[in-house]
Chain A
Amino acid sequence: MTNTTYSYQLQPAKIRYEFFRLLPISLFVVAFGMAFGLAAVQKGLEPMQAVLMSTTVFAGASQFATLDMWGSQVAVLPLIAVVFAINSRHLLMGASLYPMLKDVAPAKRYAMLLLLTDANWAVSAQEYQNGRRNLEVIIGGGFVLWLAWIVGTLLGVYFSRLLQDPQSLGLDMVLGCFLLAMALGGNKSPRVLVAWLVAGLSSLAAYYWLPPHTHVVVGALAGGVVGYFWLEAKPQ
């Protein structure tokens, strides 16, 4: 076995624990998936095509956005540009996990990245800020989120009347509230707060003045630049 040279040992029991820890949030993901399934069949996708898309793409915001571009024909380059722009936050999310991922054998590293999405990444990144290494949540948490996204899409394409107006229940805000809770649960030193201020203002500026879907990457990189020039004080 080559993985003796990689120091991060994935713990199966912890993977199962993280599966159940993200189960509650996954129930809300089912609701999102239903909204996607409903929107997809309304745009003319066959039910199983919508389910296939959720299974292999597994990136909700970009899936909704491509539905907006749907017609009798779909232009390829705009499709690629929109999907790439919306999902480019994954580039930064993956990079931020690299200090942990480099200690995992490449086959496992790239296999678990198939399940990388906002919610499980946010948990892992927040725990890393607090000094804990948790890649198990990428696997266990990602798996339950993926299942929820598929099940939700499946329910949405067949039983769309169950959930006509998810917004009236506030369900469109689940992910935003979850990510905010993760951010506030992490390190809040003056250095981090300045980075957040810069990130927030940059993302707003990009939102209003730069091409659509660039604001997350612009804001995150701007916040990162603060960290590049302002190093954390060494612990005493």
Chain B
Amino acid sequence: MTIDASGAGILLIIAIMTLVTLLTRYGGVLAMSFVRISPRIESFINTMASSVLIAIIVPMAVQGDAGALAALVATAVVMLALRKPLPAIAAGLVAAAGVRYLL
């Protein structure tokens, strides 16, 4: 099944994307409302939460270019040293821009 990418077709495509995305924003919360939150489930979702971040970042670091890796390393070092996110992110951007300029 295909949709013509023109006029009303594009509106239909956008509507489908909106509905699917809305389903993901609501689905996890709806599902949890049927689960009894035991300490074990609470532990699962807490560990899962920070693991979401790691699961986004690690492939980004491994398959990205040298600039991407430099950005993440610089962010990690500054964050662990200063414990402030904005300087850490700024250091990451400077590192990425610098490495990409030099290479």
Contact = CB atoms under 8 A, between A and B. Distances in A.
The answer on A and B forming one complex is yes
Interface of A: 24-25, 44-46, 49, 52-53, 56-59, 62-63, 66, 70-77, 79-80, 83-84, 87-99, 101-102, 109-110, 113-114, 116, 118, 122, 125-126, 128-129, 167-174, 176-187, 191-192, 195-196, 198-200, 202-204, 207, 215-228, 230-232
Given A109-B29, A231-B43, A90 B67 contact: no
Contacts of B51: 195-196, 198-199, 219-224
B81 to A, nearest CB: 10
Nearest to B86: A24
Given A93-B52, A200-B55, 6 more contacts: A79-B16, A84-B20, A90-B25, A93-B49, A94-B24, A227-B44
Contacts of B72: 173, 176-177, 180
Contacts of B42: 99
Contacts of B18: 56-57
A220 B48 contact: yes
Given A80-B16, A176-B72, A180-B57, A110 B26 contact: yes
A193 to B, nearest CB: 10
A66 to B, nearest CB: 6
B52 A216 contact: yes
Nearest to A80: B20
A228 B71 CA distance: 32
Contacts of A91: 24, 27-28, 31
